[in-house]
Structure 1
């Protein structure tokens, strides 16, 4: 523990905490079927979790699951995958991602998200940014 962490009275979370939270996040975004999606969202997000990006601002498991289901409807046959490493400090992590077509590997959508974690390691909030989107 560094002197700064000792002064603050709390250690900085281990890097695996961030990676584990982001892995559960991608499990939720790639879950299909209502039951699997509900379980994955509950495993990744707190009950009052919030998801905000340029296209959505929702809270709670039902709202988050609806946004994810909408993405699956808009992009059938696509999966979300991480881009690069997860970086984190305190209770915050950031990471890049892209939406990839299973059939040909094309990735028309990409962005990065910043998440805030709860004590139990689940996500309390997401701030999402879109870096690449398909032309209208």
Structure 2
């Protein structure tokens, strides 16, 4: 196979990415972002955009304030090839609760294995 999937664990990268969204300790979250994201990484979804680690950290902190007490979890879909992974996610009160939001993200990694771009899509959003 040709591409980063030979050397980058994209499945594990998705878990670490979602862990960022659930980490409410600002210092620990920022450390995870600095490790996982490229310095010029970009995040875009229908509601928000962020360029760079600082803007992404602010975006996550804002989502945590808006959805306090809720947790992002992986959905059922995961697929990866080359330097791309797509996966579904859910936002819910706990592991067994009905999600209030559902979406999917496409993550692209750079040559160092860090996230270069996240493109998010929303399938179900809170009313």
TM-score, structure 2 length as denominator?
Answer: 0.90
The structural deviation recorded for 1:80 is 0.5
Q: How does 1:1-136 map to 2 (within 5 A)?
A: 1=1, 10-11=2-3, 13-14=5-6, 17-102=9-94, 105-135=97-127
| Structure 2: gaps spanning 5 or more residues | none
Q: Which whole-Å CA distance do the structure 1 matches of 2:115 and 2:4 have between them? A: 17
RMSD of aligned alpha carbons: 1.9
Q: Distance in 2 between matches of 1:16 and 1:79?
A: 26
Residues 90 and 132 of structure 1: CA distance in aligned 2, closer, same or farther (over 3 Å): same
Give the structure with higher Rg (CA).
1
Unaligned runs of 5+ in 1: 2-9
TM-score after normalising by structure 1: 0.85
